[in-house]
């Protein structure tokens, strides 16, 4: 009789434990709602850009909050990589020393931004939203430093400025989401 009680108690304990794990994992994998997207975009640097960006990504429909964070950080990383390639192309075309110096500095900043965003992706996988926030913020600082120096350089840096603005907009969405992730 006592052994049946122990077995039943053990089975009930295991069932309760599994139920708790299942409910906890279900809670963290719930698809993001339209109202949550509205909340995210209302806090982003450019709410209109945020709405357009998230609606343009088919993955958003099925994404939970961590997947949306990964999507935005990865998009920021890809944007930084494309802008870095553009900067390096303009550096090759630059003829005056000041422009070469500025584009060289921007190249270094964008190399750092790309690394920071890669580190942010690793932190997402590791469940560390604080580090995600720090690394995305650092990438935005790298981009902003480049943007400030682009005045008066040749060839025309407008494509780089556009890339910087894209990185800043996507990164601001990633920051909002990283602040919503469970700690």
pLDDT tens digit sequence for 132-182: 999 999 999 999 999 999 999 999 999 999 999 999 999 999 999 999 998
Q: Which domain holds residue 89?
A: 33-180
Same domain, 11 and 96: no
Give pTM, 2 decimals: 0.81
Average pLDDT over residues 3-25: 54
Residue 14 has pLDDT above 70, yes or no: no
Residue whose structure tokens are 């958003």 = 60
- 23 and 77 inside one domain: no
- The stretch 23-33 carries a mean pLDDT of 60
- Look at residue 54 and tell me whether its pLDDT is greater than 90: yes
State whether 118 and 172 are in the same domain: yes
Using the predicted structure, report yes or no on whether residue 1 has a pLDDT greater than 60.
no
Total domains present in the chain? 2
19 shares its domain with 46: no
Give the residue among 89, 61, 75 at the shortest CA–CA distance from 157. Answer: 89
- Residue 82 and residue 13 share a domain: no
> What does the angle CA 178 – CA 55 – CA 146 come to, to the nearest 5 degrees?
55
Domain match, 130 and 105 both: yes
Shared domain for 49 and 37, answered yes or no, is yes
Q: What is the pLDDT of residue 76?
A: 97
Residue 181 CB contacts under 8 Å (≥ 6 apart), including other chains: 65, 66, 69, 129, 132
Same domain for 2 and 57, yes or no, is: no
pLDDT band of residue 40 (cuts 50, 70, 90) is very high
58-84 pLDDT, tens digit per residue, is 998 899 999 999 999 999 999 999 999
Q: Residue 65 is part of a domain; what is its CATH number?
A: 1.20.140.40
């Amino acid at each position: 009789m006592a052994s049946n009680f122990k077995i039943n108690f053990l089975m009930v304990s295991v069932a309760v434990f599994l139920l708790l794990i299942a409910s906890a994992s279900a809670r963290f994998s719930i698809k993001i709602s339209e109202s949550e997207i509205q909340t995210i975009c209302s806090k982003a640097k450019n709410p209109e850009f945020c709405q357009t960006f998230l609606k343009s990504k088919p993955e958003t429909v099925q994404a939970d909050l961590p997947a949306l964070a990964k999507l935005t950080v990865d998009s920021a990383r890809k944007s930084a990589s494309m802008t870095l390639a553009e900067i390096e192309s303009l550096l090759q075309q630059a003829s005056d020393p000041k422009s070469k110096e500025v584009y060289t500095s921007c190249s270094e900043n964008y190399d750092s931004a790309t690394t920071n965003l890669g580190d942010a992706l690793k932190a997402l996988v590791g469940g560390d939203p604080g580090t995600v926030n720090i690394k995305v913020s650092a990438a935005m600082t790298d981009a902003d430093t480049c943007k400030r120096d682009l005045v008066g350089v040749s060839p025309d840096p407008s494509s780089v400025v556009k890339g910087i603005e894209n990185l800043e907009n996507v990164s601001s969405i990633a920051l909002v989401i990283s602040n919503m992730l469970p700690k």
